Structure 1
């Protein structure tokens, strides 16, 4: 489905942000990228759709090499990659429906989009996507009238309107409260399974990742230091990903909660809450 081989990214100061990253993503598989700030998670996602140009390596989506496409060919392939952003990236003054229809811009002539004359087929599908994310009662609201969770649902519906082959999701819960975060992650998981859509999610919340993704890739200093099942995330693995200091000092700082700070025990509590 998606194959990333020996991907590296460096800047003028020769610092390697990504260092020989390789992995494959299967149809319908949800991968969570975890790691400390600066580990290269966002850079990796942006390299996949070439918002950032990789320095070396290959990115192949359904047999098409994305790394060296011309601008026109790249625009065609980007239609197949849905992007969901941390800060929603909505046009605040436009309606919910108009924001969702913006996901079809790669498929309609410029004059149609300029005059908001979208084909009826696209409009009907947009209604379907809004229904799927639970926003049918908000179709005509302006985006700036919505809550954070509702805005993220619009972002999901907009990505689906592209009819993508791959979802790239950058910190979808960073601005949301815990309950809304679980609802958004559950929605993403359900949609990916229904449509057999592969997804790569950059996520800081380890417990959400353990609960809602199929596979976790841990990055540290641009390298993959873990690639496996969420059930394998024990204290030793988390120390490898994040560093010894964080996992040893946190329990000492809050002695009253030391019994609940192991990944396994918190994961059980989170599953029960979900």
Structure 2
């Protein structure tokens, strides 16, 4: 579904962020990007949706060559790629519902979005998504009144309102506590399975990547040094990706049994935790529009 061929990124300073990236992501697969800070993980994700311009190579989403698009054609293609940000990227003064509905900006345009004139079917879908991510009680709350985990759930619902084919997820658990981090990763995993979405998740927590991803790609200095199953991520490979460390003494993650319900409905059983060594963790609505 998504194919990257020979993708590279060099900044005007001469620094090279990515070198000869070769990746193919099939429909429905959840892929985790791991690697040390500065390895190029965020750059790779942003090259896919052209928030960062690659300096070489090809990026194809189904039959569309993304690197050749500009203007309205690029905006149209971005509808197919839902982005979930580390810092949530919500408008604090707007309500939860209004933030979710902003996911329709690529469809309704700026002025209709500014005037809160959304199609009724989009409003109905926003209600369904907020129910699914466990926030039906928070529709009228301002975004700045939410916890970090709730804000991330709003970001997930907003991305899904685009009806994307691909999710690009940039460090979704970086600011969250361990329990909430697991709940958010489980939710993303379940939603991808329900909607047959492919996803690329940039994540620092190797234990979460092993537990919730189908595939792990390790980057170091802008190059792919590992691409395989979570169970294949040995302590030797972690040393290749991150550098020397006693990976075998790193604690295992806690069992799911101690977790309370997150409030979101669970439809898919999460993957069993991998046994390989882990790295340390670091409304008001009127007809046709939101008021």
Q: TM-score, normalised by structure 2?
A: 0.86
Higher helix proportion (structure 1 or 2): 1
Match of 1:117 in 2: 117
- For the pair 1:243 / 2:222, whether they are aligned, the reply is no
For structure 1, which segment, 69-78 or 202-211, has the greater mean C-alpha deviation from structure 2 after superposition?
Answer: 69-78
Give the direction of change, closer, same or farther, for the CA distance of 1:8–1:206 in structure 2 (3 Å limit): same
**Structure 2: gaps of 5 or more residues:** 260-291
Match of 2:24 in 1: 24
Task: Tell me, yes or no, if the aligned pair for 1:214 and 1:230 is still in contact at 8 Å.
Answer: yes
Shift of 1:210: 0.5
Task: Tell me, yes or no, if the aligned pair for 1:207 and 1:270 is still in contact at 8 Å.
Answer: no
Runs of 4+ residues over 3 Å off in structure 1: 269-274
Q: After superposition, what is the alpha-carbon deviation per residue over 1:4-24, rounded to whole angstroms, capped at 9, x for unaligned?
A: 111000012322110000110
Superposed, 1:58-137 pairs within 5 Å as 58-137=58-137
RMSD: 1.5
Say which SS state the counterpart of residue 169 (structure 1) adopts. strand
Match of 2:287 in 1: none
Partner Cα distance (2:50, 2:196) in 1: 23
Q: TM-score, normalised by structure 1?
A: 0.91
Q: After superposition, what is the alpha-carbon deviation per residue over 1:171-217, rounded to whole angstroms, capped at 9, x for unaligned?
A: 00000000000000000000000000000000000000010000000
Partner Cα distance (1:75, 1:81) in 2: 10
Task: Tell me, yes or no, if the aligned pair for 1:211 and 1:271 is still in contact at 8 Å.
Answer: no
Shift of 1:96: 0.3
Partner Cα distance (2:14, 2:93) in 1: 42
Match of 1:143 in 2: 143
Match of 2:192 in 1: 192
Shift of 1:273: 5.6
Task: Tell me, yes or no, if the aligned pair for 1:260 and 1:266 is still in contact at 8 Å.
Answer: no
Partner Cα distance (1:35, 1:273) in 2: 29
Partner Cα distance (1:241, 1:214) in 2: 19
Q: After superposition, what is the alpha-carbon deviation per residue over 1:235-269, rounded to whole angstroms, capped at 9, x for unaligned?
A: 1010010012xx14xx7xxxxxxx742xxx625x5
Task: Tell me, yes or no, if the aligned pair for 1:101 and 1:122 is still in contact at 8 Å.
Answer: yes
For these two proteins, the number of residue pairs brought into alignment is 259
Superposed, 1:219-238 pairs within 5 Å as 219-238=219-238
